[in-house]
Structure 1
Amino acid sequence: MVLSYEPGTSPAHRLDPRSKLAVQVAFAVAAFVYTTPRGLAVLTVLTLGILAVARTAPHRVLWEYRFVFPFLLAAPVLDGVTWGSPWFVVENAVAPALAGYRVLLVLLVAAAYVRTTPVRESRAAIQWAVPGKPGQFLGMGVSFVFRFLPVLRADLGRIRDAHRARLGTERSFSERARNIVVAAFNRAFERADTFALALQARCFSWNPTLPELRFSRLDVPALILTVALLAVALLPFLPV
């Protein structure tokens, strides 16, 4: 599964999580500033480079994100459709299509981070960036999501397999969707109750001993890329 941490020896695995988070933030800022086809083409090349450094196959990430595609496609389709002739205006669909593609690039970069960064290191990086109780609360929430989301996705896959095995595909789409959604929510609530009980049994701590974070020479290119992306993103706002 790409959307969860996988141990490895790629250069991205050896980077400090703080530098990887900085690259993500800078990339997102640049992606939301440069929304032209040329800008997105450059960001696409950069995204493929980031995935290569993380040794993550793009097609695997796209397959994991397949549930997002209907939402990304809905905006350009709805904006392009008209009530009369010519029924679809391509010019109206271009801007939302580029916006959806921009979101997809950000998700691909995020997948490279999730696959190469242990949850505890992510929490340590967040609590380093946001000190005090707010940082502890945010780091705890992120760590819970990273640990809990793959479990929920696996549960959803098992529910769908069981639904197909019981000839659920013979029912109408609305009935299939309702049954799967209800079963998924019931399973999620059961998981949440079990998760809460497990935290209590393990004497959950708001301020646990987290791994020590250290920058190394490998982080220098990542930090340079961060500064470059932020500088390029600020260029349009500087007075001529």
Structure 2
Amino acid sequence: MRKVLVPGAYAPGSTLMHRLDPRAKLVLLLIATVGTFAAGTPWGLLVAGAGLVAALVASRTSPQTVLLGLRPAAVVLCLSVLSNAVVLVGQPGLSTAGLARSAAVVCRIALVVGFALSFSSTTPPPAIADGLASLMAPLSRVGVPVGAIAMSASVALRFIPLTVEEVERIRCAQRARGARLDEGGVLRRLRGWGQVLVPLVVGLFRRADELADAMCDRCYTGEQTALLGPLAPGDWAALALGALWAGVAVAL
């Protein structure tokens, strides 16, 4: 079975992004998301794009990974562009303003996806859980289950590559049995992929039950203990640069 490339899956390394504290990367991701959607001019989007290029270089994430991450939503994004560009009321035709508006939205979504992939590919799921638990620790005073939320996020991120690998394994097994998943019309293909989705759902529920049993056996109570120390000077410098970059993107 060939190895499946999962966009955003953690890849060990020693890049600048790998060395940053997970809390700093989470805050930088939040700043990047807000700055990208708050940039209201082409110059602001250009500055946001420059920030994405810097993030990809710092994490050594290839642009191909970003394109793979956008591929599942490509149809929805194309339909969004067409629905805003085509005018059906009054004088039918193409709206330049609608096309520009939808193109800007698509650019913002692509930029945010790129930032998220550069973050997830340089941060292991346990570190993400520790970072979330540390940043959300003040909310525990008002009854928010911080540990459970952080653990749920960690488990969800860990299950993404496992799900992709499971789909590929089941698909190869069904093709070896003679199933033709990519032949025929739409209805035939949907029926063929039903032979993949049904065992996939069963397998995921089995994995979830095994994980729940393992957590119960280890007396997991929902508490998340984060062994993170204070932020290093490099982390504070990265946060300052990120805030400055987002401020420039919004100001323009």
TM-score by length of 2: 0.81
1:60: which partner in 2?
65
The one-letter amino acid of 1:89's match is S
Q: Distance in 2 between matches of 1:158 and 1:36?
A: 46
Change (3 A) 1:100 1:130: same
1:32: which partner in 2?
37
Moved more, 178-187 or 16-25: 178-187
Deviation readout 1:111-134 (Å, 9 max, x if unpaired): 111111122221111111112243
1:198: which partner in 2?
214
The SS at the match of 1:56 is coil
1:171 aligned to 184, 197, 202, which one? 184
Mapping of residues 1-240 of structure 1, within 5 Å = 1-83=6-88, 86-131=92-137, 132=140, 133-162=144-173, 166-177=179-190, 179-180=192-193, 182-183=197-198, 184-229=200-245, 231-232=247-248, 235=251
Deviation of 1:49 after TM superposition, in Å, equals 0.6
The one-letter amino acid of 2:147's match is Q
Change (3 A) 1:163 1:78: farther
Q: Distance in 1 between matches of 2:186 and 2:245?
A: 45
Q: Distance in 1 between matches of 2:94 and 2:247?
A: 39
Change (3 A) 1:210 1:152: same
Deviation of 1:34 after TM superposition, in Å, equals 0.8
- Amino-acid identity (%): 28
Deviation of 1:135 after TM superposition, in Å, equals 1.8
Deviation of 1:46 after TM superposition, in Å, equals 1.0
Change (3 A) 1:157 1:40: farther
Runs of 4+ in 1 over 6 A off after TM superposition: none
Change (3 A) 1:64 1:154: farther
Q: Distance in 1 between matches of 2:230 and 2:191?
A: 48
Deviation of 1:195 after TM superposition, in Å, equals 2.9
Deviation readout 1:143-188 (Å, 9 max, x if unpaired): 1111111111222333444555522222322342355364344443
Moved more, 31-40 or 187-196: 187-196
The SS at the match of 2:113 is helix
Deviation of 1:50 after TM superposition, in Å, equals 0.6
TM-score by length of 1: 0.85
Contact preservation (8 Å) 2:69, 2:113: no
The one-letter amino acid of 1:139's match is A
Structure 1, unaligned runs of 5 or more: none
Q: Distance in 2 between matches of 1:90 and 1:209?
A: 53
Change (3 A) 1:62 1:130: same
Deviation readout 1:86-128 (Å, 9 max, x if unpaired): 5443432221221122011111111111111122221111111
The one-letter amino acid of 1:116's match is T
